[in-house]
Structure formats: C-alpha cells, structure tokens
C-alpha cells in the first residue's frame, strides 16, 4: 500500500512543480493544471483504497479473535466430554449384577444384558427420531 501512495504523491508533486514553474514564468499552463487535478484524483482514490484496506484488516483481526475464542470453547467442551467419558467408564458394574431384560421371539425367551441393549440403542440412535406428535392420553 505504501509504494502505491508514494508513487501517487510523487505524481502530485511533479504536477504541482510543473504548474508552479509555468505560473512563475508568467505563462500558466492548463495542461499542468489538468495533470494536477488528475493526480489529486489518483491520490484520493488511493486514500479511499487505504481506508478500505484498514477496515478489512480490522475485520480480519476481529475474525481471528472470534476464531481463537471458538477454538478455546471447542477444546474446553472436548476436554469436558473426555473427562465425563472417563468417569462413566470408571463406573463399571460387575457383569453378574447387570439386570437382564427378556426379548420375546416367536419360539423362545432370550435374556439380554443391559450393556448389550445400550450398545444396540447407541447404534440405532443415529437413524432413529422420536415421533413428532404424541397422542393425548384418554381417560376412561
């Protein structure tokens, strides 16, 4: 950005020098005045571009800060999740004390262990959704 501004300011300086030389020679040049106006327009355009650049840089810094905060939040959530998982895994019940549920098939009863049932529920939970409407309970 700085080289662009320097180039445009040099153009203004050169156009101003040319105009001043023509005025001091008592022969004002309209071409030099037009060149000075064009150079001034270029400087204004460069300053507008610089202001936009500055605004964008501020936005980038703000977005970086937001990103860092969200990264910290994600890391904290994952750590909490890992700690909770460790806690839940440390609460292991002895296999003999697990209650069993019976599943009735057409010909026989088969006991199902709780951990097996929970594992199956976890497996199907990705594709299962609860009903959107529950019918009201009718009292007789």
String of DSSP letters for 77-107 = HHHHHHHHHHHHHH-PPPGGG--EEEEE-SS
Distance (Å) of CA 97 to CA 85, 94, 100, 112: 21, 6, 9, 13
Residues 6+ away with beta carbon under 8 Å from 22: 28, 29, 32
Q: What is the pLDDT of residues 28-47, one digit of tens each?
A: 889 999 999 999 999 999 99
Residue 13 inside a domain? The answer is yes
pLDDT averaged over every residue in the chain? 85
Provide the whole-model pTM.
Answer: 0.51
Residue 96 inside a domain? The answer is no
Secondary structure element (H or E) that encloses residue 65, with its range: helix 30-90
Q: What is the pLDDT of residues 45-85, one digit of tens each?
A: 999 999 999 999 999 999 999 999 999 999 999 999 999 98
Total domains in the chain come to: 1
Predicted local distance difference test score (pLDDT) of residue 92: 63
Domain coverage including residue 24? 1-91
Quick one: average pLDDT of 90-113? 63
Q: Please report which confidence band the pLDDT of residue 118 belongs to, taking 50, 70 and 90 as the band edges.
A: confident
Residue 27 inside a domain? The answer is yes
């Amino acid at each position: 950005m700085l080289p662009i501004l320097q180039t445009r300011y040099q153009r203004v300086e050169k156009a101003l020098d040319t105009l001043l030389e023509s005025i001091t020679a008592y022969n004002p040049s309209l071409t030099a005045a037009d060149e000075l106006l064009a150079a001034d327009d270029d400087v204004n355009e460069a300053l507008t571009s610089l202001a936009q650049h500055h605004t964008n840089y501020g936005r980038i810094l703000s977005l970086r800060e937001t990103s860092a905060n969200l990264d910290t939040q994600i890391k904290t959530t994952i750590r909490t999740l890992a700690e909770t998982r460790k806690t839940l895994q440390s609460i292991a019940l002895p296999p003999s004390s697990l209650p069993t549920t019976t599943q009735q098939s057409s010909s026989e009863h088969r006991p199902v262990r709780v951990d097996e049932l929970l594992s199956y529920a976890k497996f199907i939970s990705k594709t299962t959704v609860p009903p959107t409407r529950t019918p009201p309970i009718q009292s007789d």
